[in-house]
Chain A
């Protein structure tokens, strides 16, 4: 009896410690985000207050100002949003199409220099994007695609393709080759076998690759800040800079725009999340 009780107590203590540990980790991850959201609803005085004010007095001033006219601290939010959306969605779709084809080829076919090309793609990921900003700037300026959606999309596709290849290669590799063979015997062409069987089975992998590619493009700042400069092409992260003036930084406005930036990414991730849960599909072959 006694031993049972001590055992039970110990388990309870362990459970609490587990819970507490998780709480600390989650707090470290979440508090900065939460602080951004809180700050966007606070008057500037409270943002700058030391010690920090935990219970905010609620105000929508920053949002009102942001959507307001140029003279009252407003920024062209809708333009930035549209630019971000166009650039991210287009570059993601293109990167997924190219990357998925590449990943499939690496997973299914044998060709010369396969290993070398694969390593090369991965090495390309090792180059810091910022290091490329100056060469890109010069080349783009010469070619005349600086400050355009097209230029930015091109850069993001190049950034995302290697990662997509690597990710989808892994997913296609998990699908046994017999599946497309069975489909071909059932009357499919090689192309149909891919779209009707292998693609649906690997769609969780493709979905996660798409999320990664989208978030990379959506959040990218370093290159976008170099390659875009006008309202017609600036993305939201670059737009944040509009709130910095020579001597002051409008923290409230910045936080308000950051919230608008986080929301779509958050929503999209929630939508696609269900596809990210892999495993649901694996079982057609003996597991």
Chain B
């Protein structure tokens, strides 16, 4: 049983406060991703869980045991670092077995555990090499192997993929996911890449400026962002956001009017300043979207740029002075400058209060 819980965890550097009271319960075997822009305190939070950073206030417990004052070695955790932090003077085998050697385990047990980890990660060929003789992806795998050898209660990953190129990154993403299915341990993973967060996480913790903005499954964050920041951070391309004003039963976006989506009807007051948001997936040329049922409204837009992505194409247009993106499946090429009628799926749109940035109708 190794749930991890953080209660009002605070980090101060001198007078500067970097993390402002994080509350988080992580269940046994859960894959939690801390994500946010750089400087949001996600790495600091992870390092406090690891014991590499002192906890200024609050409480961190692992498996029901408060670990605030325990050194890293007594927390039974493993960590994979962004720059791998392999021991350069040891071979891969020695790197993998280091933690067990330090723990003075019997030789045959070490060999067995190391071989098992090497087998899981496909490192058998590399056992006698030094880290300097390995490629980036191989080093990454050794770092992961070193983490799994000791069967820790919790795995911590600190941006483990950000030094890899795009192709390798998506490969390793799959391997990490497989690894989680195999070892079934609790994993806390830090990244600034929302794609990694979406694809890996059971639950995403989205942070900004040392505070948690939203916690939820990837789909929850994608479909029901609690504020503009979450809406803009999660999802690629980012959500289209247009400033507007409530006028009667429509939202005025400058010269264009869209009906108020039924989900927020009655929760807006006349003249209220709002931000109207929708994802590219929900703005499609009539007849070319995946899903056309439900509550829709039609917009006539001139496409001035297209970005073909294979199975679908991104369409760039201007609406009420702002550049927005729509999407279509690929029935035919669209030439820039073409005028098209788009369906906007109102039931998938988001309305945020312009003053607070909070989502309306989703509390």
Q: Is the CB of A176 within 8 A of B132?
A: no
* A87 CB to nearest chain B CB (Å): 32
B86 — which chain A residues lie within 8 A by C-beta? Answer: 182, 284-285
Per the 8 Å Cβ criterion, residues 171-185 of A in contact with B are 176, 178-179, 181-185
- Answer yes or no: B168 CB below 8 A from chain A CBs: no
* A178 CB to nearest chain B CB (Å): 4
CA distance A116 to B73 in the complex (A): 35
A287 — which chain B residues lie within 8 A by C-beta? Answer: 132
Interface size on A, residues (CB 8 A): 25
Contact with A along B109-148 (1 / 0, CB 8 A): 0000000000000000000001111001001000000100
Per the 8 Å Cβ criterion, residues 237-287 of A in contact with B are 280-287
* B285 CB to nearest chain A CB (Å): 45
- Answer yes or no: B229 CB below 8 A from chain A CBs: no
Q: Is the CB of B71 within 8 A of A184?
A: yes
- Answer yes or no: A201 CB below 8 A from chain B CBs: yes
Per the 8 Å Cβ criterion, residues 57-89 of B in contact with A are 71-73, 77-79, 81-89
- Answer yes or no: A189 CB below 8 A from chain B CBs: yes
Interface size on B, residues (CB 8 A): 31
27 pairs, CB–CB < 8 Å, chain A vs chain B: A178-B82, A179-B85, A181-B85, A182-B79, A182-B85, A182-B86, A182-B146, A183-B98, A184-B52, A184-B73, A185-B51, A186-B73, A186-B102, A187-B103, A189-B73, A192-B102, A196-B102, A201-B87, A280-B132, A281-B88, A282-B88, A283-B132, A284-B84, A284-B86, A284-B132, A285-B83, A285-B84
19 more A-B residue pairs beyond the given contacts A184-B73, A284-B89, A286-B83, with a C-beta to C-beta distance below 8 A: A178-B83, A181-B85, A182-B79, A182-B85, A182-B86, A182-B146, A184-B72, A185-B51, A185-B78, A187-B73, A187-B150, A197-B87, A201-B87, A201-B88, A283-B130, A283-B131, A284-B84, A284-B88, A286-B84
Which B residues fall within an 8 A CB radius of A?
Answer: 50-52, 71-73, 77-79, 81-89, 98-99, 102-103, 130-133, 136, 139, 146, 150, 163
